[in-house]
Structure 1
Amino acid sequence: MADLSESYPLHECVFAGDVKKLSALLRTHDVSKKDKHGNSALHLAVMLGRKDCVMLLLAHAAPVKVKNLAGWSPLAEAISYGDRETITSLLRKLKQQSRDQMEGRRPNLVEALRRMGDFYMELKWDFQSWVPFLSRILPSDVCRISKRGASIRVDTTLVDFSDMRWEQGDVSFLFDGDCKPAQALTVLDNKACLYQRVRHEETEMEIEDEVDILMSSDVVAAQMSTKSITFTRAQAGWIFREDRKEMVGAFNSEFYAINGMVLESRKRREHLSDDDLRKNKAIVESFTRGGSSGNSMGPNALDVNGEPVRRKSLPPPPECRLTWEEYILAPPGNHPCLGRPTMCKESSKSFKATVAMSMDFPLSVDMLLNVLEVIAPFKHFSKLREFVEMKLPPGFPVKIDIPILPTVTAKITFQEFEFRDDLSPELFQIPPHYIEDPMRFPDL
């Protein structure tokens, strides 16, 4: 027992609420260390409602984007506990840490782009769903990617795609590796002749709006389980079966069946009222019937002064009576409840999918990952990047099926690629007649 206590001194301080000792220990101990349950000291501080400890740990750069053995982050636990100030602080720190991480990788990324040959590439996206009527209204898109030096241009008709909505238009994303980080990424609205710098920091109102949405929605942890995934050669022919080989665009390709692809989804809703549950159910039902694709989950009510009515903190759960010894001696990942009793719904869905690999494609997977990292802030590209990071069969994935949402799958085809040394510099610049509109794309 003594060994376990000595192994996690930060956690034990948080459990005792000893802020003074915690402050002293943070000078010499790893703030990111996890205990046997996968909880960081920040996890415990949030679940136990130790707000002073939370703020102290955040001030010492405690990581927010970490998960315990149950698959939950400190932010998820904060939403469950329901203290608005804590949720806001964690959300701000999460966004700051994500920016810092990206900026740390930026010099190497820009250098990798410079070393890569200039090219033009086309990706076709076809979205499909097993939900009745939904496939009829899902978008499709041919995405055009041009790369010159340390600059990338992406032309697409799909502006945004998320759980409750998508937005289509005629847009271009410009990344300029030679610019300062705050000016590196720009989005163009080619119909309205407007442009917007993709901001690195949200306004106070945007943060507060996001907190309202978090506090009134399910806490969702969805991940593609990759441990059980295997690849087997896809077969063709009715009588004489043989390995399936086809041309994808101009590229000879070998097809593989992806086995064991499972999307695991878990939802927590102990922080939601009956009214929240009714509203959220109505939104989902409207969406799956092919109704409005607008996001109705944001804050709508205004007070007498025209200001948004903000979600209030929940009454705290009963104070935890658990001792440190009872917590740390519990079986790994199965400790007694520390905060609000959990209401969790788990589901898993298996996907039948294929991937076509080509040895002829001129781009390497590593090169593609560098390009996707630049445009990963756009949700559907981040999903593609996650898939390509898997251990794939030999070659380049010229055609892929990947789950984008629990109800939606995307079929992505790399239908054209050519190295080009004649791409005009003007293609990667904001047209001079475009007007800046900082709020044209509010979610970017």
Structure 2
Amino acid sequence: MMADDITNRYPLHECVFDDDIRRLSGLLRQYDPAEKDVHGNTPLHLAVILGHKECVHLLLNHHAPVKTKNRQGWTPLSEALSYGDRQTIKCLLRKLKSQSKEMLESKRPELIEALSELVDLYLELKWDFQSWVPLVSRILPSDVCKIHKKGTSIRVDTTLIDFSDMRWQRGNISFIFNGSAKSRNALIVLDNDQRVFQRVSYDQESESELEEEVDILMSSDILTATMSTKPIVFCRAQTGWIFREDRRESVGIFPADFYLVQGIIIESRKRREHLSDEDIQRNKAAVESLSKGEVLDGMSETVYRASLTPPPPCHITWQEYIMSDTVPSIGRQQICKENRKCFKATIAMSEDFPIQVADLLNVLEVITPMKHFAKLREFVELKLPPGFPVKLDIPVLPTISARVTFQDCQFRENIPTSLFRIPPDYKEDPYRFPDL
């Protein structure tokens, strides 16, 4: 491709690079703000990296995607954390939540139709979390999750709502999805110990909750992890020392064929150019406390973190950027650590399981606010061997994996409707689960 063709191929990116807000405004009617350039950056990536705030706001007003990753796995929000402007971070975080809600709403009619065609059932699965980091596995949680499905409604009972590298939330929790309800009441979370409920909505977060979330992001490593599955191979697991044969065992009441999963590569990257030495030491102490089994308290700071001093201005031209064979450094100098790990796993497939993989995917779609269920859905979407995955290992975080076992599945005709209602004595607490 000729040089002129490449430099003229991305007009939105060029406008952002040159901070030409007037021309950008006109071109947004013609071009897609989600398009990626030769380095995998969207116009929003560039606007954030270069600190062109007017371009950022204009692109967000034209629905530029906040969740899109570039070739290195970084989102515009990742780059905003590196740049360190607090208002930009908050703006992107708010937009990310709004776009997530819009995506869920767009899928809802199709999801409700699929649920209405699925028979009513009870599903039980167990989570066992493990890590290859010394001392961490012994304090990781496990959970038996119970799922009831009736009509277009789903109830999930769990003791683990979510977790990240350094903290998780436990409790007696129920998710209730009502397909027939209005969107505001479609997804409810119950805290059965405190007897309160929260509507899961991405636009009801208080300003203080959002500010606290920004503080956590600004004081933490920027992480990304990708699961490369292009070379993935499923090989029949063998058993026996002398006379080798295919491994076939029962998982619960379901006979299953066991496979070795080979070729999954977990690539993780960690950036910390935005952190002070004090931040790094505090985070290190938090990880050490966790490895000793100590419970971490929430953030105690009441004064919000200030924006960072902007990085030095970019001195390369648009032509130099777009024609470069490697990704040029145009923002704050990255401090990045990369890790590449081959993930070895086992999966048990049963052709006697009562439901199909497609049915499971529809159920999991409802509970994607819980990140570990989103990871399960991502893995099950792979082209699996024949049958249903009754037992499987999945990567959840760069250092943590989970073994998921489907212990039971029963068709049930008389599931009580009351399971899918908010108990009358529960009070609403819109901020009980700030991460949802």
> What TM-score do the two structures reach when normalised by structure 2?
0.96
- Specify the SS of the correspondent of 1:113: helix
Q: Distance in 1 between matches of 2:354 and 2:225?
A: 34
1:319 aligns with 2:313: yes
Q: Distance in 2 between matches of 1:320 and 1:104?
A: 39
- Identify the match of residue 310 of structure 1 among 304, 315, 319: 304
Shift of 1:66: 1.0
- Identify the match of residue 97 of structure 2 among 82, 91, 95: 95
CA contact (8 A) 1:403 1:409 kept: yes
Instruction: Give unpaired runs (5+ residues) of structure 1.
Output: 302-307
Instruction: Give unpaired runs (5+ residues) of structure 2.
Output: none
CA contact (8 A) 1:251 1:358 kept: yes
Q: Distance in 1 between matches of 2:32 and 2:136?
A: 48
Shift of 1:101: 0.8
Partner of residue 408, structure 2: 416
1:13 aligns with 2:15: yes
CA contact (8 A) 1:143 1:154 kept: yes
1:142 aligns with 2:134: no
CA contact (8 A) 2:156 2:176 kept: yes
Q: Distance in 1 between matches of 2:433 and 2:20?
A: 45
Shift of 1:316: 1.1
Partner of residue 243, structure 2: 240
Q: Distance in 2 between matches of 1:436 and 1:324?
A: 52
Which one is further off, 404-413 or 96-105?
404-413
Which one is further off, 277-286 or 183-192?
183-192
CA RMSD of aligned residues (A): 1.5
Shift of the 133–39 alpha-carbon distance from structure 1 to 2, 3 Å rule, reads closer
Shift of the 327–132 alpha-carbon distance from structure 1 to 2, 3 Å rule, reads closer
Q: Distance in 1 between matches of 2:386 and 2:432?
A: 42
| Matched-pair identity in % | 61
Question: What letter matches 2:247 in structure 1?
Answer: R
Shift of the 49–163 alpha-carbon distance from structure 1 to 2, 3 Å rule, reads same
Shift of the 316–440 alpha-carbon distance from structure 1 to 2, 3 Å rule, reads closer
Q: Distance in 2 between matches of 1:96 and 1:187?
A: 19
Shift of 1:247: 0.9
1:275 aligns with 2:278: yes
Shift of 1:283: 0.9
Partner of residue 417, structure 2: 425
Shift of the 364–295 alpha-carbon distance from structure 1 to 2, 3 Å rule, reads farther
- Specify the SS of the correspondent of 2:99: helix
CA contact (8 A) 1:194 1:434 kept: yes
Shift of the 266–363 alpha-carbon distance from structure 1 to 2, 3 Å rule, reads same
CA contact (8 A) 1:268 1:344 kept: yes
- Identify the match of residue 373 of structure 1 among 345, 357, 365: 365
- Specify the SS of the correspondent of 1:224: strand
Q: Distance in 1 between matches of 2:280 and 2:180?
A: 48
Shift of 1:295: 5.2
1:342 aligns with 2:344: no
- Specify the SS of the correspondent of 2:54: helix
Partner of residue 68, structure 1: 70
Q: CA-to-partner distance for each residue in 1:183-203, whole Å, 9 max, x for gaps? A: 111122223333222233221
Question: What letter matches 1:321 in structure 2?
Answer: H
Question: What letter matches 1:190 in structure 2?
Answer: N
- Specify the SS of the correspondent of 1:35: coil
CA contact (8 A) 1:164 1:295 kept: no
Question: What letter matches 2:198 in structure 1?
Answer: Q
Question: What letter matches 1:172 in structure 2?
Answer: S
Shift of 1:208: 1.2
Question: What letter matches 1:140 in structure 2?
Answer: S
Question: What letter matches 2:266 in structure 1?
Answer: L
CA contact (8 A) 1:82 1:314 kept: yes
Report how many residues are paired: 433
CA contact (8 A) 1:124 1:143 kept: yes
Q: Distance in 2 between matches of 1:354 and 1:73?
A: 31
Map 1:197-236; keep pairs closer than 5 Å.
197-201=199-203, 202-236=205-239
Q: Distance in 2 between matches of 1:171 and 1:71?
A: 32
Shift of 1:285: 1.5
Partner of residue 260, structure 1: 263
- Identify the match of residue 400 of structure 1 among 379, 392, 404: 392
Partner of residue 55, structure 1: 57
Q: Distance in 2 between matches of 1:180 and 1:79?
A: 35
Shift of the 141–343 alpha-carbon distance from structure 1 to 2, 3 Å rule, reads same
